[in-house]
Structure 1
Amino acid sequence: MEQLLPFIGEIGFPILVALYLLYRIETRIDTIIQMIKNLPERIKHK
């Protein structure tokens, strides 16, 4: 158990940061997908 705690401390933080960044990227990708879906409609109106 004593060896496990430093391992979690060293590995846990990078994993947490990676998950946070993936979440932020996912929201931006969702926005881009929505914009691409609306693109044909916007082109028709012009």
Structure 2
Amino acid sequence: MDSMVQLIGNLGFPITISLYLLTRIEGKLENLTTSINNLSQVVSNIKNNTP
């Protein structure tokens, strides 16, 4: 039981930080995906409108 408490104590902080960073990065990745899709549409429109 003591080793289990020590294991949780040693791993709890890195796991918490990892989850926090993954949550923050997820939102940024969604914004990046939206921007890339918008850019793709703009480039497609430019290609279709040039003679």
TM-score (normalizing by structure 2): 0.71
Aligned positions, number: 44
Q: Which runs of 5+ in 2 are unaligned?
A: 47-51
Structure 1: which 4+ aligned runs deviate by more than 4 Å? none
Q: Which runs of 5+ in 1 are unaligned?
A: none
Identical columns (%) = 39
Partner deviation per Cα, 1:2-46 (whole Å, 9 max, x = no partner): 1110110110110110111011111101000001111224x548x
RMSD: 1.6
Larger Rg: 2
TM-score (normalizing by structure 1): 0.77
Aligned twin of 1:29: 29
